[in-house]
Amino acid sequence: MTTLTLQSVGVRLDHVTKRFSGGVIAVNDVNFSVPAGQLVTLLGPSGCGKTTTLRLIAGLEQADGGTLCIGERDVTNLPPHERGIGMVFQSYALFPHLSVFENIAYGLRLQKHTNAEIRESVEMVLHLMNLVGLDQRMPNQLSGGQQQRVALARALVLKPRALLLDEPLSNLDAKLRVQMRTEIRRLQRRLGITAVYVTHDQSEAMSLSDLVVVMNQGRVEQIGAPIQIYGTPASVFVADFIGRANFIETKIIAVENNRASISVLGRTLSVSCSSDFRAGDEVYAVLRPEVIRLSEGDGLARGEVRQATYLGSFVEYEIETGNQTLIVLDYEPWAGRIFAEGSQVAIVFREENVHLLRGK
């Protein structure tokens, strides 16, 4: 069986804008690049512009400003069929009256390939997508995961230069979503195809992506690898949207050598900061719930357990300390005791786990 060979290229958006009727700006001066062979996820809440951005890349929407390039080719004004992309939709969009084989072959028939070429190409992707033996079934005879594989196969059989996926797992149950996102990542790496993936699911974005583009109200808030997005969020929005975070309001006392002195929970800490912070700036000290430890001994502060929720693999605590309520996640409850509600506990964390952000 011949191996599917793709010629992947990069995707670039320069100052792309899209307006809808009524003056709504759905995509506002968006700039980012997708390196060839990488998977980039557009992540954000409903209405942030991520799907519209994907449709602009696909040519299903026309940009009102800016430039879209696939490879070195300016495709801003080209129709979808001339862009060399494959698209997988949220609804799968399989033809209900066509078999699995004919669904996959549909685009090849439109391109006037010979029957022999079509059969060879379809059989190739049937093997690739673990669909062998299902080629004569109709879509309504398939499970959700199998339908998703057919949708992917139909896009890949055309050997696209880039693959676009619009929330492709949203119709699957939780367990199957995890299986399919693992399979999509495996395929993307194996084929080396450039992919742009839209989702509002943070775990999907973190597990699938080489880069994550976080969007909010039509703009790009931050671009980075998953570890950067989570560990060093660029804004309060990103810190709040990606995972969970505690925000402690404070003011910078002094700055020296890219370290800021701040007061947190009654203690003065020295934390890393960027060069644009100044003494007197009002900031948030951001603490992820999993970096905080609780103990019966000494800590940076003391608090009371207001709520303790046992969730099997971890315990979620609400700790009240002064006028601040902290969320704490303990992923090793079996390594120590589970603190009862009403307990007095010490709060422990390291200075390097504090991330400074400007106020909202």
- What's the pLDDT at 7? 81
Residue 1 pLDDT > 80: no
User: Are 85 and 190 found together in one domain?
Assistant: yes
- 59-115, pLDDT tens digit by residue? 999 999 999 999 999 999 999 999 999 999 888 889 999 999 999 999 999 999 999
Q: What is the pLDDT of residue 38?
A: 96
Mean pLDDT score across all residues of the chain: 92
Instruction: Calculate mean pLDDT across residues 129-153.
Output: 92
At which of 176, 207, 237 does a domain end? 237
Whether 268 and 311 share a structural domain = yes
Give me the mean pLDDT over the 207-213 stretch. Answer: 95
Is 45 in contact with 123 (CB distance < 8 Å)? no
More confident residue, 325 or 323: 325
Query: Does some domain include residue 4?
Result: no
Residue tagged 């929720």 (tokens): 309
Question: Are both 202 and 272 inside the same structural domain?
Answer: no
From CA 1, how far away is CA 119, in angstroms rounded?
A: 12
Q: What percentage of the chain carries pLDDT values higher than 70?
A: 99
Nearest-angstrom CA–CA distance, 28 and 274 = 27
Regarding whether 312 and 174 lie in a shared domain, the answer is no
In a domain, 6, yes or no: no
Same domain, 208 and 286: no
Residue 5 lies in a domain: no
The domain boundary residue, chosen from 237, 265, 291: 237
Q: Do 211 and 288 belong to one domain?
A: no
Is the pLDDT at 333 greater than 80? The verdict is no
Per-residue CA distances from 109 to 100, 112, 158, 212, 350 (Å): 14, 5, 11, 36, 61
| Token pair listed for 278 | 């100044």
Tokens read off for 110: 């439109």
Q: What is the pLDDT of residue 8?
A: 84
Would you say residue 1 lies in a domain?
no
Asked whether residue 353 carries a pLDDT value surpassing 90, the answer given is yes
Q: What is the mean pLDDT of residues 125-154?
A: 92
Domain-located, residue 169 = yes
Does position 360 have pLDDT exceeding 60, yes or no? no
- For the stretch 220-262, pLDDT in tens is 999 999 999 999 999 999 999 999 999 999 999 999 988 999 9
How many independent structural domains does the chain possess? 2
Predicted confidence (pLDDT) per residue in 289-300, tens digit: 999 999 888 888
Indicate whether 351 and 303 sit together in one domain: yes
Residue 287, domain member (yes or no): yes
Confidence band of 132 (pLDDT split at 50, 70, 90): very high
Question: In this structure, are 167 and 265 located in the same domain?
Answer: no
| 55, part of any domain | yes
For residue 336, is pLDDT > 80? no
What CATH number corresponds to the domain at position 166? 3.40.50.300
Same domain, 204 and 250: no
In a domain, 315, yes or no: yes
Q: Average pLDDT, stretch 103-129?
A: 93
Quickly state the pLDDT bin for 2 (edges 50, 70, 90). Answer: low
Q: What is the pLDDT at residue 21?
A: 87
Tokens of 284: 């948030």
In this structure, are residues 211 and 24 in contact, taking their beta carbons and an 8 Å threshold?
Answer: no
Last-in-domain residue among 186, 215, 237:
237
Together in a domain, 184 and 278: no
Other beta carbons within 10 angstroms of residue 339's beta carbon come to 21
Which tens digit of pLDDT belongs to each residue from 150-194? 999 999 999 999 999 999 888 888 888 888 899 899 999 999 999
pLDDT at 339 over 60: yes
Position 5 pLDDT exceeds 80? no
Mean pLDDT of the 337-358 span: 92
Residue 298 or 304, more confident: 304
Are 48 and 113 part of one and the same domain?
Answer: yes
SS (H, E, C) 306-338: EEEEECCCCEEEEEEECCEEEEEEECCHHHCCC
CATH number at residue 272: 2.40.50.140
Residue with the larger pLDDT of the pair 58 and 313: 58
- H or E element that contains 112: none
Enclosing domain of residue 163: 11-237
166 and 38 belong to one structural domain: yes
